[in-house]
Amino acid sequence: MSANGVSAAGKVLRVLAVFDREHPSRTLSEIARSAGLAVSTAHRVVAELAAWGALERAEDGSWHVGLRLWEVASGCPRTQILRDAALPFMQDLYEATHENIQLAVREGTELVFVERIAGHRSVDLLTMVGTRFPVASTGMGRVLLAHAPREFQDEVLAEPLRSWTPHTVTDPRTLRAQLDLIRREQVFVSDRQLSESTVAVAAPVRIGRSGPVSAALGIVVAARGAERARGLREPLLRAVHGISEELGRRARTAL
């Protein structure tokens, strides 16, 4: 442990944590300030990370996440097994709809997008692989929240909820009723909750047909085509059932 109470590993983690979707690249001074480190310390940590390949330097002198770190992260067992099982069904769903297809998991109080298939004619999204949002902010997140333990729901709904658009539901009582409906109906249509230009249709992915919910699969369409969203229920259910059965088969094989 160093004199300032931060271990060497802690400094590395602080530096890596300054990079996110809103800040994909940082100057050295920005890294030091955001990580709460002296510039000399940040310089040393960044140099070591760059030598290993975790960070790369752009022509303008700024730093961004390196390819090697992405390669390591892509091997995460939790998401790798899920992605391997889901991708064939996601591809079939894309061929049937030609819309954005997304797969996400819950980590703590956040939703993390782990896979996506999109065509050049698909609507533009705020989300991409690796991005995080508060779990109550998106249709896929609410599906996962609906199947989370009651005490976890209470924790999320007790906190102030961000209003992303004029349509975002933030009232805890209304959201509680919505979560009950999601559990009953399986498929949830999220109408312009995260973006005024999109509508999402989401459903839970289980480990086996009746096992625990491990992820959410969603289709995102342009808001102007919202009337089409409800017609996507059946192809979406076929996809989540297929993924769920495949995850169940893999779980049984691993026993």
pLDDT at 4: 60
Q: Supply the CATH classification number for the domain 8-72.
A: 1.10.10.10
Gap between the Cα atoms of 118 and 130, Å rounded: 15
* Tens place of pLDDT per residue across the chain (255 aa): 454 677 888 999 999 989 876 788 899 999 999 999 999 999 999 999 999 888 888 878 889 888 777 666 656 566 778 888 999 999 999 999 988 999 999 988 998 888 998 876 666 666 677 788 899 988 999 999 999 989 999 999 999 988 888 888 889 999 999 999 999 998 998 888 777 888 889 999 998 888 889 899 999 888 776 677 778 999 999 999 999 999 888 777 754
Beta bridge partners of 134: 110
Report pLDDT for 255.
47
Rounded CA-CA distance 199/192 in Å is 5
Residue 159 tokens read as 């906190």
* Angle separating helix axes 28-35 and 39-52, nearest 10 degrees: 110
Residue 135 and residue 144 in contact, taking contact as beta carbons nearer than 8 Å: yes
Q: Which residues of 25-40 are buried (b: 16+ CB within 10 A; e: fewer)?
A: ebebeebbebbebeee
CATH of domain 77-254: 3.30.450.40
pLDDT at 197: 80
User: What does residue 105 show for φ and ψ, rounded to 5 degrees?
Assistant: -125, 165
Give residue 90's pLDDT: 96
DSSP for 189-221 reads: EEESSS-TTEEEEEEEEESSTTS-EEEEEEEEE
* Per-domain residue ranges of the chain: 8-72, 77-254
Angle between helical axes of 233-254 and 77-97 (0-180°, round to 10): 150
Helix/strand/coil (H/E/C) assignment for every residue in 3-16: CCCCCHHHHHHHHH
